[in-house]
Chains A and B, each alone.
Chain A
């Protein structure tokens, strides 16, 4: 009997949080306006945190706040009151890096504390120690391989969270301050300038790169569930709503199929194909089955063409007339796909198209414009139109 697992999504703002909730996430993590490692994401005000928790809870989902900067003295004074307010807003867990916060939160509030990957926990002795300290869950370092994860789970029994998809750090989390030295932006306080993606020369050679491929664990989800991982984390609080919808729905289908014992090669191959297409970057499984090696890095001529697959999102419906907020160019006659929060993928030929005034038009070529389309399907709000993936 396999345990139920959690699909954990990032959200950079309230819209993304709602998209994540309806596209299959079991829980959502996001940052407040302070103390979060993505200082330049929109992030959430206290009012928005309250709304986010309320929305997530209404759908039976959980909401986690990242409080995972590495604190400097000047950051400390106001954090205690902030934690109290976030707890009152309804948060289910804090994700923290600084251990003094574990003690404070556990002594004062009835919420979970998850230890951030920023602490780079890599072994069962440390996890045992953290369990005794009151930590409710550990996000393991990205460098921990499959057998070590299994051993930690088997020996300690503390819920374990691991990344399954998205960009990877080249360096051990918490042990990299390249950004501080190259740009003065504090990598451990949310200012990471991704120096590992810059181009360098090394010794007498040109075009040395330290960048690594994205993570994509879709082929190993069944194994990860079987070894007992509790939470499957998607990276990317800065990612678009479309990216979240596609990635979450793919992993939702894979996870559900594993748990229902209906996972087939066809289903898996289809989702792997979708996931490879949406992220637009090469990917690998990095440390999961082996030490990361030459195959896990980017070198010369890394290709990352801009992704124009996302055509629009349904923001209103009136019977079979749908109001769409347009994102990328499409026109009459195009064959497109519609993805829905119900996990459906529907083929559609664009045979009608109107502007906001219901005047017939031939093409959608103005980003963020409001369009209307008649579609003979019952589509939920937040369904998305995209170029065909399959």
Chain B
């Protein structure tokens, strides 16, 4: 498995000792990724000419976005982009219609949950698939066994668990007659200790786990099955994140054992392992 970092700035030097594969968002077209506009992406690729750069375009696309989207895709196809992580079908449609030289990552978030849908998008020309964070490691392994495609999954990061087009936070503050200038907010479920992050920006409102996903055990089990493991630096301090990234790299290079990796990452970010080993309930009995 190779490591991809979802970055929190355009300064990539800090990561380069450990990986040369990155994900960034495209300004005004991404949700929950660090965003750059097209010109800045071009500059980034000039500055770091040997990197594998994936660009995430994962907002819901509306009619008014289509022209800009098409222009951006045409420009991106002229760059040395490793792939486009896409959510909206319009991206797949435009790339096929214009026969653009862009490799596509099927990235419909929580919908990438089974081998048939991954196979289906492979037949439509997708080269990669980014698996949902709410399926188990066993399900990921089964998909890898059944579909010959480059798979990727998130192993480290705050997990995005919902997205709304509504401005839920500012609406609330407007209603109670107060100002709130925070982009990052924290909610707590009444009567419980469940805390989540809420980010509101121009694309709407997103809820993320406050705990950092630690998928290290799953990473160990899947490193021969998936092509890429994603580590997301957003909302994690650089000190902690770079330590974790180094440990992952050391493990891949066989410099530390699996047990050492698990222990050391756990010491840094805790043991929250999401749904890697927990199946969701289909029907309440």
Contact = CB atoms under 8 A, between A and B. Distances in A.
Q: Do A and B come from one complex?
A: yes
A125 B66 contact: yes
A148 interface: yes
A203 B180 contact: yes
B72 interface: no
Contact of B275 (A76, A172, A180): A180
A191 B284 contact: yes
A188 B117 CA distance: 15
Interface in B130-175: 134-135, 139, 142-143, 159, 161-169, 171-175
Interface string B52-94: 0000000011111110000000000000000000001110111
Contacts of A180: 134, 161, 275, 280
Main secondary structure of the interface of B (DSSP, over half): mixed
Interface in A199-218: 199-203, 205, 208-210, 212
Interface residues of B, number: 67
Main secondary structure of the interface of A (DSSP, over half): mixed
A200 B189 contact: yes
Contacts of B119: 100
Interface residues of A, number: 70
Interface stretch (A4-12, A242-250, A257-265, A291-299): A291-299
Interface of B: 60-66, 88-90, 92-94, 108-111, 113-117, 119-121, 134-135, 139, 142-143, 159, 161-169, 171-176, 178, 180, 182, 185-190, 194, 196, 198, 207, 209, 275, 278, 280-284
24 contacts: A70-B113, A71-B114, A73-B142, A76-B114, A99-B121, A100-B119, A119-B111, A129-B92, A175-B110, A177-B134, A188-B111, A188-B113, A191-B283, A198-B190, A202-B186, A203-B180, A205-B172, A205-B176, A208-B172, A294-B171, A294-B174, A294-B175, A299-B172, A299-B176
Given A123-B66, A180-B161, A203-B186, 13 more contacts: A73-B139, A120-B60, A122-B61, A124-B66, A126-B61, A172-B165, A176-B162, A200-B190, A202-B172, A205-B172, A210-B168, A293-B171, A299-B172
The 9 closest A-B pairs by CB, nearest first: A186-B280, A125-B90, A129-B93, A176-B162, A126-B89, A100-B120, A100-B116, A199-B190, A294-B171
